[in-house]
Amino acid sequence: MKKRKGITIDFQHSIDKLIHFVQAEKFFSLLFFLVFIMSLRNLFIPLNGDEITYNQIAENILKGKYYQKDYPTSVIPIIPFMIAFFKVQAYPIIGFIIQKLIHILFTIIGLRYIYLLYKKLGLPNKVVYSLILLCVTATGFVSSLPSLYPEAIVFFTFWASIYYFNQTNNLFNYKRLIAFLVILVLTRHLFAVLGAMFLFYYYELIKSSNKNIFKYFFVAFVISLPLLFWLKYIYFVESNNLSEISYFSRFKSNENGLWFNIKCGLGLQQHYESQKINGIPAFVSLFVPITGIRNYTISLILLFLMFFGFYKKTNTNHSKSMLAAFCLVFMGLIFAGTGFSRYWLVLLPIIYLGYYFAYEKLNASTKYFVITSQLLSVILILNELRLTIIILKKIL
């Protein structure tokens, strides 16, 4: 009874804070509301690209097979299983809409974790709102996260993991950190690179608290069982070349091996699985609403500016963990070789934080940063409105 009462109080407190925010920040509220409304356009967009693949696998899951068509697949399991769970055979669109709404909710929860991390850094409220607004109005954010692509779950679990990396070292937070990391890796294999941060976290936990090392290891083992089972499944399918669609085939080729993927990840060469050069040259596409834009020089300048901002700013665990996560994922994208621009979306809060830190080095007023952020966001929202009108005309 007490637990239910506590949940009710927390919910009411959250509502009160939201009302206060709307009353105090009317312009920010309007912009966030417009972004939310435009994200709803995705509810009615037909499946395309990988969404079709996920749906085909989901249909076979309901028949007792993890196949796309006639053979097993090593495509990430979270999205196909979610589609299968929400499947409404008579009216499939109902299941798709429900799942897309859940993805929007996951995105909002992810933004909540980002808000809490920004506040821990001591950033002014208007700066926090500006950084989050820049993230949600970035090119591709409104299109990718409320879709049936994995981006929303990646966004939610990634930022939940970063949040719990910075919480008090205890069993409660430890369990949640492992659970979010497991879901994250099962949603996109690339994020297994964050295992390096977890090992450091585990070492610090054991060293600082003198806890029973076997107890914490056992907890991690139990929570990680779904991931361990999945890894065994992948090993069996891939080692026997049974997979109909494989994300690992790019590493098996003698002609196009690891070095080939690294060159593609650096943007020095186009990957045979991609229609454009990706990797570093695609970084600029996060900020310029031009389809398929690639530019190596501008992308390098933008990356340098972010790292310059973080220089001498890693004096807290929060900023250290964000920068460490960025570097690990960045290297993972390079080794993967086919990092599309939407893969960068989850890192936007770190990127824009680096830009704000760089702005602070100018000793300029935060007022100008906030105004500039709002102006840029208005331009990007108008562009999203244009795209929304075009999309609705096509599907209605």
Between CA 26 and CA 31, with CA 27 as vertex, the angle to 5 degrees is 115
- Mean of the per-residue pLDDT values of the chain: 87
Percent of the chain past pLDDT 90, that is, above it, reads: 51
| Model pLDDT for residues 256-269, shown as the tens digit of each residue | 677 777 887 787 77
| Model pLDDT for residues 182-215, shown as the tens digit of each residue | 999 999 989 999 999 998 888 888 776 666 788 8
Question: Is residue 251 scored above 70 in pLDDT?
Answer: no
Q: Which residue has the higher pLDDT, 350 or 313?
A: 350
**The two structure tokens encoding residue 213:** 């090392």
Percent of the chain past pLDDT 70, that is, above it, reads: 90
In DSSP notation, 202-268 reads HHHHHHHH---HHHHHHHHHHHTHHHHHHHHHHHHHHHTT--SS-SSGGGT-SSS-HHHHHHHHTTS
User: pLDDT category, 10, cuts 50, 70, 90?
Assistant: low
Predicted confidence at residue 58, as pLDDT, reads 94
In the block, tokens 């009317």 appear at 26
| Model pLDDT for residues 12-63, shown as the tens digit of each residue | 667 878 888 888 889 999 999 999 999 999 998 899 888 999 999 999 999 9
Coil, helix or strand for 171? helix
| Model pLDDT for residues 127-176, shown as the tens digit of each residue | 999 999 999 999 889 888 889 999 999 999 999 999 999 988 888 889 99
Predicted confidence at residue 156, as pLDDT, reads 97
Between CA 63 and CA 70, with CA 66 as vertex, the angle to 5 degrees is 85
In the block, tokens 């602070």 appear at 360
